[in-house]
Amino acid sequence: MKYLRLFIFFIVSLIVVVVVFSWLVPVKQALDKSINIQAPAAVVYEQVARLENFNQWSSWNQHDSTVKLEYTGTDGSVGASSHWTGDPKISGEGRITIDSLEPGKMVSQRIHFIKPKEGHASSIFTLSELNGLTTVSWHFESETPRPWNIFNFFSDIEKNLGPEFEKGLAALKARVEKVTVPSGQSAAYEVKEMDFPETKYALIRQEVKWNDIPVFYAGHISILFAETQRQKIKPGTATGLYFTWDHQQQLTDMAAAIPLPEGKELGSPIIRMETINESKAIYTDHFGDYEKTPAAWTFLRQYIASHNLKEKAPVIEQYLNDPATVKDTAKWQTRVWMLVE
């Protein structure tokens, strides 16, 4: 009986200690990191505010090659979210949601860790620009409910997560200051402004899964050229038109297209004519594999953000040489146009 009383006393004392200790230890842990980036705040903001860009450079999920991402809502706007699933021992499952935005100044994210352990956190980026140099401050705060918060006493968030956040910011700096381009091309794209002329296209257009773009384009551009040859019409440059880019469904509304001389048309059950009106535009030339052209898209959008322009659909890719005759992929030339206002 004596030992039972001692055991009960020990348990009660332990509970009291845990309860008292849980009220002494904070329920939140915070981490602050910052970096200076040689670029306008508007350009940096584009990389922080859009979840697709954020997932390319941030510290989340970078050590897990099995991670799968799904996007909900309009990326870069309040309420948009990114849901991840991966190796339970590395990344688990969770969701990041854009909580609030101040264009060019602040991005606030709400984070819900679902598996292997549920938890909540917040992530806030503040941007401050001076003479073209932008300071990015990243504030991260995690919550641990009582009594589990007592484990915060034995956990150093700076030691555990600090280096990963520094790597993420370094990757952001590298991404903004220097867009990665294929070997054989200069370190940065040259952006030129020019009015895109009114152009009439013969095209085959439909929604295509991202992975199916090469097959769709190759199959349908050949149909277009065969039809021009049959009708003895001299076509223009092979072109890809991208009207939408759905990150959630990984779909694009696109067209294989060729410009036709004035007064000429192609007609068939799947070929239609469509005119792109004259517009102010910017463009750059990409040399290399077609799979690397998103680097040119990113660079052009950075230019758009830094010059306070607004992009209009579609994005236009002109394939200036024929891969059937130019075997060296490093010499493949794609001119990427973005219509702006």
Q: What is the mean pLDDT of each run of 10 residues along the chain (341 residues)?
A: 52 48 55 84 85 84 78 88 85 89 89 83 88 84 60 58 82 73 50 91 93 92 91 91 84 93 82 93 88 82 83 94 80 91 90
CATH code of the domain containing 59? 3.30.530.20
pLDDT of 124: 92
- Within this chain, do residues 330 and 196 fall inside the same structural domain, yes or no? yes
Q: Count of domains in the chain?
A: 2
- Within this chain, do residues 165 and 209 fall inside the same structural domain, yes or no? no
- Within this chain, do residues 88 and 165 fall inside the same structural domain, yes or no? yes
- Within this chain, do residues 172 and 86 fall inside the same structural domain, yes or no? yes
Residue 212 sits in which domain range? 192-340
Of the residues 151, 177, 203, the one at which a domain ends:
177
Rounded to whole angstroms, what are the CA distances from 82 to 50, 113, 128?
10, 12, 26
- Within this chain, do residues 40 and 157 fall inside the same structural domain, yes or no? yes
Rounded distance between C-alpha atoms, residue 267 and residue 247, angstroms: 33
Question: Which tokens hold the place of 272?
Answer: 């239609």
How many CB atoms sit inside 10 A of residue 120's CB? 14
Is residue 114 within 8 Å of residue 95, measured between CB atoms? Answer: yes
Q: What are phi and psi of 65, to 5 degrees?
A: -75, -10
CATH code of the domain containing 280? 3.20.80.10
Question: Which tokens hold the place of 57?
Answer: 């450079």
Rounded distance between C-alpha atoms, residue 214 and residue 230, angstroms: 24
Answer whether residue 3 is part of any domain: no
- Within this chain, do residues 120 and 238 fall inside the same structural domain, yes or no? no
- Within this chain, do residues 63 and 167 fall inside the same structural domain, yes or no? yes
Of the residues 177, 203, 232, the one at which a domain ends:
177
End-to-end CA distance of the chain: 86
- Within this chain, do residues 324 and 228 fall inside the same structural domain, yes or no? yes
Angle at CA 271, nearest 5°, toward 270 and 275?
Answer: 140
- Within this chain, do residues 167 and 35 fall inside the same structural domain, yes or no? yes
Please provide the DSSP assignment of 169-180 as one string: HHHHHHHHHS--
Strand order of the sheet with strand 68-72?
Answer: 28-37, 133-143, 119-130, 106-115, 93-102, 81-85, 68-72
In which region does residue 73 sit, left (phi positive, over 0), alpha (psi from -120 to 50) or beta (all else)? left
pLDDT of 171: 86
- Within this chain, do residues 165 and 265 fall inside the same structural domain, yes or no? no
